[in-house]
Amino acid sequence: MDLIPIIVVVVFFQSVVIRQPFPQIGEVIFGFLFVIVGLMLFIEGLEIGLFPIGESMAYALAKKGSLVWLLIFSFVLGFSTTIAEPALIAVAKEATVISSSAGLIESDEKTMYNYAMGLRLTVAVSVGLAIVIGVLRILKGWPLYYLIIGGYILVMLMTIIAPKEIIGLAYDAGGITTSTITVPLVTALGVGLATVIKGRSPLTDGFGLIAFASLLPMIFVMLYGLFWF
């Protein structure tokens, strides 16, 4: 069901527009079957595993009443899932190669390693902080839009002063930080917290953690660029 649009698009373009024989049709059909079964299992697993664990941890941490532990948990969750994110590792590597060939950083191995590692750490710290700010917002009931609009204005200002070479990377860094396993967990955490805390609505206050996690890395990566170049 979820894949019908993709199949329609691919078949339409192959048969009507490009009019070339389909490459390895057997393998493609086989692959689609995998995708369908995988997606079904994933959704089932969300409902019985990831959502309940995220929510029960939110309840337990809120009941424990220790703000410090809740914030530490938020930071560690954001940091640890991002530092190991394969998409981020790939992008950091690519960005290092581009920067060194453009002569922005020294092209010896040590500098390049430091640069790539620094980039990953910067993004991971910023996601950790983003979840912390997001959780604090849920606790205090701050309206999300002030923070996000403030963030946008900061991004715009940073764009003006940041080195040109880092901007494209910084913008894309916002999009790649939130992986498929982090999103359900973080969403369940936010909605769970907003459900237990009196005076918060799960809909208005529970969402928004991911928004921070996509915004803060942009600001931090541009700062990182300012620091290096």
Report how far residue 187's alpha carbon sits from residue 201's, in angstroms, rounded to the nearest whole number.
14
Q: Is 126 among the residues that bind other proteins (CB under 8 A)?
A: no
Identify the residue among 58, 178, 220, 225 touching other proteins (CB under 8 A): 178
Q: Is 96 among the residues that bind other proteins (CB under 8 A)?
A: no
Under 8 Å between Cβ of 114 and 227: no
User: In this structure, which amino acid lies at residue 143?
Assistant: P
Question: For the chain, first and last CA: distance in Å?
Answer: 49
The binding track of 21-60 with respect to other proteins, each residue x by CB under 8 A or -, is: --xx--xxxxxxxxxxxxxxxxxxxxxxxxxxx--xx--x
For other proteins, which is the closer residue by CB, 85 or 219? 85
Under 8 Å between Cβ of 221 and 90: no
Of 72-80, 103-111, 114-122, 221-229, which segment contacts other proteins by CB under 8 A?
A: 72-80
Identify the residue among 15, 18, 113, 140 touching other proteins (CB under 8 A): 18
Structure tokens belonging to residue 38:
């995988």
Identify the residue among 105, 112, 136, 183 touching other proteins (CB under 8 A): 183
Q: What is the dihedral of CA 40, 41, 42, 45, to 10 degrees?
A: 130
Q: How far is the CB of 106 from other proteins (least distance, A)?
A: 19
For other proteins, which is the closer residue by CB, 111 or 200? 200
Q: Is 114 among the residues that bind other proteins (CB under 8 A)?
A: no
Radius of gyration of the chain from Cα atoms? 21
Q: Is 213 among the residues that bind other proteins (CB under 8 A)?
A: yes
For other proteins, which is the closer residue by CB, 183 or 223? 183
Structure tokens belonging to residue 143:
């309206």
| Helix 67-83 / helix 51-64 crossing angle, nearest 10 deg | 150
Under 8 Å between Cβ of 226 and 163: yes
Measured over the CA atoms of residue 71, residue 141, residue 53 and residue 173, the dihedral's sign is negative
Identify the residue among 71, 131, 135, 206 touching other proteins (CB under 8 A): 206
Under 8 Å between Cβ of 168 and 225: no
- Residues in the interface with other proteins (CB under 8 A) total 100
* Interaction residues for other proteins, span 138-177 (CB under 8 A): 143-145, 148-149, 152, 155-156, 159, 167-169, 171-172, 174-176
User: In this structure, which amino acid lies at residue 218?
Assistant: M
68 CB burial (10 A radius; 0-12, 13-18, 19+):
exposed
Identify the residue among 71, 77, 116, 158 touching other proteins (CB under 8 A): 77
Q: How far is the CB of 108 from other proteins (least distance, A)?
A: 21
Q: How far is the CB of 216 from other proteins (least distance, A)?
A: 11
